[in-house]
């Protein structure tokens, strides 16, 4: 079993990309949660699922072209996180890591996080591309930041 946790604020344009992916993604062997701005509220269901992999997807400021997708290492999360959630994602990962063998954070470079609903075209295309990669099991092939 694998878990995808989408994170972000859907009222801040591209910051909602993780939520959008969580709402759209489905594949055999996966459970998805839209963690919104309070992903820590999903720690109990995630632990109960006892996943071999937890994939966290969120907008991340990586100084790349909008829509760029990268796996972000644990020690870089605080530097790249947009920070619109209650608890820093690095804390969430540290809290869950004793119980989950593999946790990956996937960041998508936003074009804008200004107030607004909906994703920019570049980030929407990236979201669709990532969903296909996940459905094919190709997440480990992503570039690392």
pLDDT value of residue 121: 98
Please state, in angstroms and rounded to a whole number, the distance separating the CA atoms of residues 16 and 136. 23
Residue 77 pLDDT: 80
| Structural domain containing residue 23 | 2-141
pLDDT value of position 88: 79
Q: Identify the pLDDT of residue 141.
A: 87
Give the residue-averaged pLDDT of 88-102: 91
Residue 143: CB atoms within 10 Å: 9
Mean pLDDT value of segment 85-101: 86
Work out how many domains the chain is built from and give that number.
Answer: 1
Would you say residue 85 has pLDDT above 90? no
- Give me the CATH number covering residue 91: 3.40.50.1450
Element (H, E) at 81: none
Q: What is the DSSP letter of 116?
A: B
Instruction: Return the percentage of the chain with pLDDT > 70, whole number.
Output: 94
Q: Which of 121, 57, 123 is nearest to 85 (CA)?
A: 57
The Cα–Cα gap between 32 and 54 comes to: 10
pLDDT at position 63 over 90: yes
| Residue entry with tokens 């994602």 | 89
Pairwise CA distance, residues 71 & 107, whole Å = 6
Regarding pTM above 0.75, the answer is yes
pLDDT at 74: 83
pLDDT, position 83 = 63
């Amino acid at each position: 079993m694998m878990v995808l946790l989408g994170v972000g604020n859907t009222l801040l344009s591209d910051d909602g990309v993780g939520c959008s992916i969580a709402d759209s993604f489905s594949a055999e062997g996966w459970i998805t949660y839209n963690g919104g701005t309070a992903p820590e509220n999903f720690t109990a269901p995630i632990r109960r699922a006892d996943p071999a992999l937890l994939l966290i997807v969120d907008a991340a400021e990586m100084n790349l072209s909008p829509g760029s997708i990268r796996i972000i290492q644990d020690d870089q999360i605080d530097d790249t996180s947009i920070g619109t959630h209650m608890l820093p994602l690095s804390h969430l990962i540290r809290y869950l890591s004793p119980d989950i063998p593999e946790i990956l954070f996937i960041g998508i470079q936003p074009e804008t996080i200004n107030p607004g609903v909906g994703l920019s075209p570049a980030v929407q295309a990236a979201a669709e591309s990532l969903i296909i990669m996940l459905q094919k099991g190709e997440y480990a092939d992503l570039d690392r930041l």
